[in-house]
């Protein structure tokens, strides 16, 4: 088959892959999405249980996520997902939830556990952001490579003090990006703060599976297709060997491939197509696991959605809690409630050999101490654990990412038609995934329009 007659294959039907495929389709290019699961959306989507949308990750998003909003509008589901439901923020202090405001420095300074001196230290944050402004770009995070030589812990202790690190910086990092403050690059925290400062923390009105399903309906999707190996062909195309759930091994050919899968999978599937610089950038990428206990409740615990961050100094095995009341046609049935209890990584890791139901009971008991009586109205429980949940942007990650992105135009000029999308390139939130897919598709479209 002539290389130009072959379709473009997008490997991975998560939000990065769907975003890339949607852009390619809009440009009039033939595109096929290969997804090893039986449904689209990847790790961001879950399942419906008794009318509840149960995701394997916290479904929070910033109201300033403009690219995600544009994707909703393009797909045509904004009326079902918007307007977003704003979430009330709280921090646990001495065993009790205390409301906080993160939309201003004054609000941050009033975070429970912070004192007057801490508040004055936080005044340094706007000046630091102004100093780093030219290098901090949510669409091109690799531009912050020059700042990627200090950990979050070192940065926070130096400018704000240990108390601010424990009470605000570390809880914010843990619930958003995963990883330890001692290992994570300060760039990850600065980008997270920039992201949160552009909008309020919110929830969609329906589950994210609604967006994934609507996007996939107008794409050529092949479910149950797990890519095993990608080999470059002499004529410039690619052969993709797949394991198909219903029929065993199958081989497909493509004129270009978008890899919208985690970095470890990229190295495994496309290793023979990667340059040494790319392998050096991708092999060190690691992911933090995530464990959630989801409780469907007979009645709501709160009148509005609430998100509780829990500092490690509170000695709880839980690092965050999302409490969501239901409404007609929403993510949670009207009159019901849902709790998502995000377990602390070190707590779960220390119980690697313990049965899941035992660990879940410990998490539930710990929350009972925070909100007595909450577990007395439980309709169902789901313990969800993902080993590749959140990419860890350790110190040095953005420098490797910059080298990775720098070499891409050169490889494309040489005729390689392999493109990359995923959270390890942009960030852990849904808006970043959409941007990642759009970047990959934009590069591919530009190459398709180049003269032969």
> pLDDT tens for residues 427-447?
989 999 999 999 999 999 999
- Mean pLDDT on 100-110: 66
**Statement: 3-43+209-285+393-448 belongs to CATH 3.50.50.60:** yes
Q: Are 5 and 420 in contact (CB under 8 A)?
A: no
Q: What is the mean pLDDT of residues 12-28?
A: 96
Least confident of 22-31, 83-92, 93-102: 93-102
Residue by residue, what is the 3-state secondary structure of the chain?
Answer: CCHHHCCEEEECCEHHHHHHHHHHHHCCCCEEEEECCCCCEHHHCCEEECCEEECCCCCCEECCCHHHHHHHHHHCCHHHHCCCEECEEEEEECCEEEECCCCCHHHHHCCCCCCHHHHHHHCHHHHHHHHHHHHCCCCCHHHHHHHCCCEHHHHHHHHCCHHHHHHHHHHHHHHHCCCCCCCEEHHHHHHHHHHHHCCCEEECCCCCHHHHHHHHHCCEEEECEEEEEEEECCCCCEEEEEEECCCEEEEEEECEEEECCCHHHHHHHHHHHCCHHHHHHHCCCEEEEEEEEEEEECCCCCCCCEEEECCHHHCCCEEEEEEEECCCCCCCCCCCEEEEEEECHHHHHCCCCCCHHHHHHHHHHHHHHHCCCHHHHEEEEEEEEEEEEEEECECCHHHHHHHHHHHHHHHHHCCCCEEECCHHHHCCCHHHHHHHHHHHHHHHHHHHCCCC
pLDDT digit string (tens) for 255-281? 999 999 999 999 999 999 999 999 999
- The whole-angstrom separation of Cα 339 and Cα 306 is 10
pTM: 0.94
pLDDT for 136 equals 94
- Return the CATH class of domain 104-197: mainly alpha
Q: What is the pLDDT of residue 345?
A: 86
Mean pLDDT score, 285-306: 91
Q: Look at residue 452 in the predicted model and tell me its pLDDT.
A: 42
Residue 101 pLDDT exceeds 80: no
Q: What pLDDT is stored for residue 173 in this prediction?
A: 87
Lowest average pLDDT, out of 137-151, 387-401, 408-422, goes to 387-401
The strand pairing partners of 232, in sequence order, are 238
Give the pLDDT of residue 103. 59
- pLDDT of 294: 96
Answer whether 167's CB lies under 8 Å from 173's CB.
no
The stretch 351-380 carries a mean pLDDT of 89
Query: How confident is residue 390, by pLDDT bands cut at 50, 70 and 90?
Result: confident
pLDDT at position 404, please? 97
- pLDDT-derived band at 343 (thresholds 50, 70, 90) equals very high
Superfamily of domain 46-86+201-206+286-391: Protoporphyrinogen oxidase, mitochondrial; domain 2 (3.90.660.20)
Output b/e per residue, 241-259; b: 16+ Cβ within 10 A: ebeeeeeeeeebbbbbbbb
For the chain, domain boundaries = 3-43+209-285+393-448, 46-86+201-206+286-391, 104-197
pLDDT at 5 over 80: no
């Amino acid at each position: 088959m002539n290389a130009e007659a072959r379709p473009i294959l997008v490997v991975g039907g998560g939000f990065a892959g769907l975003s890339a495929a949607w852009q390619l389709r809009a440009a009039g290019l033939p595109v096929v999405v290969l997804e090893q699961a039986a449904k689209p959306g990847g790790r961001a989507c879950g399942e419906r249980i008794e009318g509840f949308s149960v995701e394997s990750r916290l479904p929070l998003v910033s109201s300033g996520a403009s690219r995600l909003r544009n994707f909703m509008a393009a797909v045509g589901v904004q009326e079902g997902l918007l307007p977003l439901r704003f979430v009330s923020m709280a921090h646990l202090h001495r065993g009790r939830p205390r409301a906080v405001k993160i939309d201003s420095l004054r609000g941050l300074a009033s975070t429970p556990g912070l004192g007057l001196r801490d508040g004055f230290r936080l005044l340094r944050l706007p000046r630091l952001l102004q100093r780093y402004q030219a290098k901090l770009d949510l669409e091109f995070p690799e531009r912050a490579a020059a700042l990627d030589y200090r950990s979050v812990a070192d940065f926070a202790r130096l400018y704000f003090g240990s108390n601010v690190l424990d009470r605000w910086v570390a809880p914010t990092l843990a619930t958003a990006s995963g990883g330890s403050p001692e290992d994570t690059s300060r760039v990850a925290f600065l980008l997270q703060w920039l992201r949160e400062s552009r909008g309020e923390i919110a929830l969609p009105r329906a589950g994210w599976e609604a967006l994934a399903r609507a996007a996939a309906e107008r794409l050529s999707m092949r479910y149950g297709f797990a890519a095993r190996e990608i080999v470059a062909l002499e004529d410039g195309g690619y052969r993709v060997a797949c394991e198909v759930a219903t029929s065993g091994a199958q081989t497909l050919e493509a004129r270009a491939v978008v890899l919208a899968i985690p970095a470890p999978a990229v190295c495994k599937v496309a290793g023979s197509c990667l340059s040494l610089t790319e392998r050096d950038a991708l092999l060190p990428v690691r992911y933090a696991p995530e464990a959630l206990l989801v409780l469907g409740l007979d009645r709501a615990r709160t009148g509005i959605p609430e998100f509780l961050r829990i500092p490690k100094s509170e000695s709880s095995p839980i690092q965050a809690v999302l409490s969501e009341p239901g409404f007609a046609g929403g993510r949670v049935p009207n009159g019901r409630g849902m709790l998502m209890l995000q377990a602390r990584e070190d707590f779960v890791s220390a119980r690697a050999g313990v049965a899941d139901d035992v660990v879940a009971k410990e998490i539930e008991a710990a929350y009972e101490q925070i909100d007595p009586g909450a577990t007395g109205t439980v309709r169902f429980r789901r313990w969800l654990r993902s080993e590749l949940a959140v990419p860890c942007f350790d110190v040095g990650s953005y420098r490797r990412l910059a080298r990775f992105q720098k070499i891409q135009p050169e490889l494309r000029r040489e005729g390689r038609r392999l493109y990359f999308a995923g959270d390890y390139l942009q960030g852990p939130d849904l808006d970043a995934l959409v941007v990642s897919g759009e970047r990959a598709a934009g590069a591919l479209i530009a190459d398709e329009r180049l003269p032969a």
